[in-house]
Structure 1
Amino acid sequence: MKILAIESSCDEFAIAIMDDGKLLCNVISSQIDQHKEYGGVVPELAARLHLQNSGWVLREALEQSKINIEDIDMVAYTAKPGLIGSLIIGKVVAETIAMYINKPLVPLDHIEGHIYGAAIDHNFEYPVLAMVVSGGHTQIEIVNSPMDFKIIGATEDDAIGECYDKVARVMGLEYPGGPLIDKLAQTGNPERYKLPLAKNDDSYDFSYSGLKTATINLIHNAEQKGEEINKNDLAASFQKSAIEIIKIKLNRAIEQYRPKTLTVAGGVSANSLMRKTILELGKDHNIKNTIIPEMSYCTDNGAMIAKLCYEKEMFQNKNKIR
């Protein structure tokens, strides 16, 4: 079964092709350079660039896979969530391909795809406890099968990636700011500045607006007093607070749900402290199947959508046979 998968939810237009679970290609057209001058993603620009780049991405995917488009058995695409204009372009491209080759069209969920990005080179043992961390989402999910996802906690305001980027902008860092804060934090003192643990309660929900406001206020107060902020120390202090609350809540979720697999998904899963934290939690709770995704599968990509589609099809076919 050859699956062509399209991901276009934000500022990447990506196409991957998978053959019976084996990834043949994963082509990504990134727009970071175009959006950088605006300090963030401009939805209208993202959609226009998707339309402009979709043709060469498709040609490159077919060339790398060494197959003809008629060989594709199924076309999958990200239907939600995401920027509406970007999603529409991906949907139209997917519909056009599926109609041309007369093959099934499968709409899929972006967040579910991110979770299965960690399973491209690994196998999930269920239940899976997944920590989703990205620019638009911060949530904990229990995955009992490729068809059974349960959100047990989510952000009430800013997502962690969004918080990183907003703080980075006030620190004078370029977009995207998350990776730059992570880099500065490597040589900073995480105890230098005292920042709050946002929504440190008994729920599995998150709130990053308080941490964002506290960090920005710290910067502004220092500027007004003529004091110099040590960016490395601030980055380390901010990162510690941002991820420590995730560690606290994940630790409690592991004790309650006893997962057989622990994983992290989304763009912020590329963060060094986030990856270290997940591995430490897996070790502390003796979860042998603790998985962090390959760096190439952390940000938006077509491979994760292809993998999700493949796993859903396999699960459904298996249960039909029974």
Structure 2
Amino acid sequence: MPPVNRQNDGGQGLTVLGLETSCDETAASVVRLGPDGATVLSSVIYSQIDEHAAYGGVVPEIAARSHVEMIDTVTRQAMEQSGLDWSELSGVAATAGPGLVGGVMVGLSYGKAVALARDLPLVAINHLEGHAVSARLGAETAYPFLLLLVSGGHCQLLEVRGIGDMSRLGTTIDDAAGEAFDKIAKAMGLGYPGGPALEKLAASGDGSRYDLPRALLGRKDCDFSFSGLKTAASRLAQTCETDQDRADLADAVQKAIARQLMERTERAMKAYLESHPELVAYDAEAGTSKSGQRLFVVAGGVAANKTVRATLQKLATKYGFGFFAPPMAYCTDNAAMIALAGAERLEKGWVSDLDAVARPRWPLDEARATGDPVHKKQGRKGAKA
């Protein structure tokens, strides 16, 4: 691979084109990482919501074909919005997994083509690592921090010491929180995407009417489970006769998911502090994050849910953690987070070969995933996380 070009932006930092195609958004972004943190120079996202709405969820084949049709247009728009020439880029970063492998292959192949044609280094990025650093797009969030990554396909608690240096504390043993939101919303007839629709409906509901199950109460680890909640709520949805019934159930579901996220996160916070007694309480008055302070980050699409955010922010304050989350525009899948992860890797001189492969499954903590898999080998590959 060509060497990292550190001179082509006047010494202001590394400027990276990011590409994201892991699910149903075709996204491209240009991000500059300088001495004062990250600056998003452009961010373009083409959403396939209308193409999948009729099916109530993402159809992998349709998603892959749409990525093929849109990737060039979206990338050119991102470059135009950035005001930069191709020669001013330091590198190109592309999601290489995990995700729908057909879509991942589109973005990664396009990234390889850009890298080869423009003589730029390529950085193959773990989509989850992109989410892990996404809070750093809104503010200079210092390492290390405790991370709750919660989205449609993933639900994990991680200790993040830096780029490429993360340890899993807990993960879902079945469904992710975002999947539970979407599937329950579908059972309630709310359409796709279901999560935002359920949140809107819950605003006028009283969840105390419904008693939903609480998962894994006998376990003292930090793992999650949402399959029982999903099944129970889907069955209750069949009994709803009025709009108020549906609003009350939506509120109950939202609060149940927020409660489980809070309970497991509280366990993780206690374990994190036990293993890091040197961390001091976050200084909210100073308003800046510093290494050595207690910092908590929540990222992923579910981080956009206001009830979830408020619940976790209250918990962070209780244990002296500073609460950080990406700006709303960078909670769901986007390419700015991929570009930032790529820039941070380029800073360390970490680049990928042009034979980098697309991976449908790619755990952030591969050592833990291999040594202590959530799904034991029984003829199945298990969850992509």
Is this contact kept in 1: 2:146–2:159, CA < 8 A? yes
Aligned residue for 1:242?
Answer: 257
**Matching of residue 264 in structure 1 with residue 298 in structure 2:** yes
Partner of 1:155: 172
Alignment RMSD (CA, Å): 1.6
1:13 to 8, 20, 26: 26
- CA–CA distance in 2 between the matches of 1:313 and 1:99? 17
Structure 2 residue runs without a partner (length 5+): 1-13, 274-278, 280-293, 351-385
Return the letter of the residue paired with 1:230.
D
Query: Retained in 2: the 8 A contact 1:278–1:292?
Result: no
Counting only pairs closer than 5 Å after superposition, residues 18-57 of structure 1 correspond to structure 2 as 18-20=31-33, 21-57=38-74
- One-letter code of the match for 1:308? A
Which residue does the alignment assign to 1:78? 95
Counterparts in 2 of 1:211-226, with a 5 A limit?
Answer: 211-220=229-238, 222=239
The runs of 4+ residues in structure 1 deviating greater than 4 Å are: 226-229
Quote the residue 1:312 is aligned against.
345
Alignment of 1:1-322 (within 5 A): 1-20=14-33, 21-200=38-217, 201-220=219-238, 222=239, 230-258=245-273, 260-288=294-322, 290-315=323-348
**1:5, distance to aligned residue in structure 2 (A):** 0.7
- SS at structure 1 position matched to 2:55: coil
Is the helix fraction higher in 1 or 2?
A: 1
Cα 1:186–1:176, aligned 2, differ >3 Å: closer, same or farther?
A: same
Task: Find the residue that maps to 1:241 and give its secondary structure.
Answer: helix
SS at match of 2:137: coil
Q: Per the alignment, in what secondary structure is the counterpart of residue 106 of structure 1?
A: strand
In structure 1, distance between residues paired with 2:233 and 2:297? 28
Summarize the Cα distance change of 1:166–1:73 in structure 2 as closer, same or farther, 3 Å threshold: same
Structure 1 residue 219 displacement after superposition = 2.7
Per mean C-alpha deviation after superposition, the further-off stretch among 105-114 and 257-266 is: 257-266
After superposition, the Cα gap between the structure-2 partners of 1:73 and 1:210, relative to the gap in structure 1 and judged at 3 Å, is same
Query: What amino acid sits opposite 1:169 in the alignment?
Result: K
Distance 2:41 2:243 in 1: 51
Residue 144 (structure 1) shift: 0.9
Percent identity at matched positions? 41
Counterpart-to-counterpart distance in 2, 1:98 and 1:281? 44
TM-score normalised over the length of structure 2: 0.78
Aligned partner letter, 1:18: V
Partner AA of 2:332 in structure 1: T
Query: Quick one: distance in 2 between partners of 1:216 and 1:19?
Result: 45
C-alpha distance in structure 1 between counterparts of 2:111 and 2:84, whole Å? 17
Distance in 2 between the 1:228 and 1:114 partners?
35
Q: Deviations over 1:172-194 (max 9, x none)?
A: 11101111111111121121100
Cα distance per residue 1:146-199 (max 9 Å; x no partner): 120111111111111111111111101110111111111112112110001122
Match of 1:320 in 2: none
Query: Normalising by the residue count of structure 1, what TM-score does the alignment of the two structures yield?
Result: 0.93
Aligned residue-pair number: 313
